[in-house]
Amino acid sequence: MNASPAAPTDAAIESLLAFWVEAGVDSMLLDVAVDRVEAGKFVPPAPPPRLAAVAQAQVHAQARPGQPDIGGALAQAQAAAAQAQDIASLAEAIAAFEGCPLRYEGAARQAVVWRGRIDAPLMIIGEGPGAEEDAKGQPFVGRAGQLLDRMLAAAGLTDRVLITNTVFWRPPGNRTPTLAEQMVCLPFLERAIALVRPKLLLLVGGASAKSMLKREEGILSLRGRWFEWRSTTGDLELPAMPTLHPAFLLRQPAAKKRAWADLLTLTERLDRPDRPA
């Protein structure tokens, strides 16, 4: 008897969706009309705690010989972030912080904190710095960053953003940062959000969206949707939209129109802050 076919993996589904996007598929016909305005008001249910539990397990795991104590580092990050009273002192606290393993594993030169306006109405949060960012000390300055800048300029957002990442040191080989690495840096990122007080967050790429929203879906499922980001303490809440990473857009140019649609949706909401979503 033939065995039942295995269910497709998330990676296979995302690969198929990316293929459809590149082939020019940009719409889906449904049997019943959908009011997209009403659908946009839907608040997604709270995600299962699986991602948070995994990150906590990584943080509290036994430190390997020669590696920083991640659990202790998280406490140090929380204390250092809380003491920063402005964005400049917070940048100094990050630069002096020695508890993130990436400082010794991937970074060749320096911490990469942010660039842009320190009172920006929009904060853009990417994944982590790469080689060019490590060399220059600023996020999103390579090819992907240049594409992001062009998109922001076209949307009229150039002088309205602060750009940063979930981690402040380059991961070795430009790999995706682990949940534990992101969690150790999170107190600094949350303090930056509290000090800048943006109106909206734009989460660039799957690693950023999953970490900040504590969700497990892939970026092709999350992008273009509104979520409520909540700080660890629960005293900060902001609307957040995930979108495709510009590095992905360089590999899949046909997907640029989807990222552009996300950016236009975000810009429209940014310009009507007093109206409900």
Q: Is the pLDDT of residue 33 over 90?
A: no
Q: Taking residues 175-192, report their average pLDDT.
A: 96
pLDDT at 42 over 60: no
Average the pLDDT over 130-157 and give the result.
96
Phi, psi angle pair for 10, to nearest 5°: -60, -40
Distance CA 250, CA 205 (A): 13
3-state helix, strand, coil in the chain (%, to 5): 45, 10, 45
* pLDDT tens-digit series, residues 228-246: 999 999 999 999 999 999 9
Average confidence (pLDDT) over 119-124: 98
Q: pLDDT category, 62, cuts 50, 70, 90? A: very low
Q: Where are the domains of the chain?
A: 47-270
What percent of the chain shows pLDDT beyond 90? 69
How far is 203 from 209, CA to CA, in rounded Å?
5
272 band by pLDDT with thresholds 50, 70 and 90: confident
What architecture (CATH level 2) is domain 47-270? Answer: 3-Layer(aba) Sandwich (3.40)
pLDDT at 94: 98
Mean per-residue pLDDT, 242-256:
97
Checking if the pLDDT of 56 tops 90, the result is no
**Average pLDDT over the chain, rounded to an integer:** 85
* Buried/exposed code over 24-36 (b: 16+ C-beta within 10 A; e: otherwise): eeeeeeeeeeeee
Q: Among candidates 196, 218, 270, 276, which has minimal Cα distance to 240?
A: 270
pTM tops 0.85: no
DSSP string of 73-131, one letter each residue: HHHHHHHHHHH--SHHHHHHHHHH----THHHHT-SS-----EE-TT-SEEEEES---H
Range with lowest mean pLDDT among 44-53, 93-102, 117-126: 44-53
- Six token digits for residue 138: 């600023």
pLDDT tens sequence across 65-87: 445 567 889 999 999 999 999 99
* Residue 211, both tokens: 């970490």
Cα gap 195→202, rounded to integer Å: 17
CA distance 133 to 135: 5
User: DSSP class of residue 275?
Assistant: S
Burial class (CB in 10 A: 0-12, 13-18, 19+), 63: middle
pLDDT surpasses 50 at 277: no
Predicted confidence band of residue 266 (pLDDT cuts 50, 70, 90): very high
Torsion region of 235: left, alpha or beta (phi above 0 gives left; psi -120 to 50 gives alpha): alpha
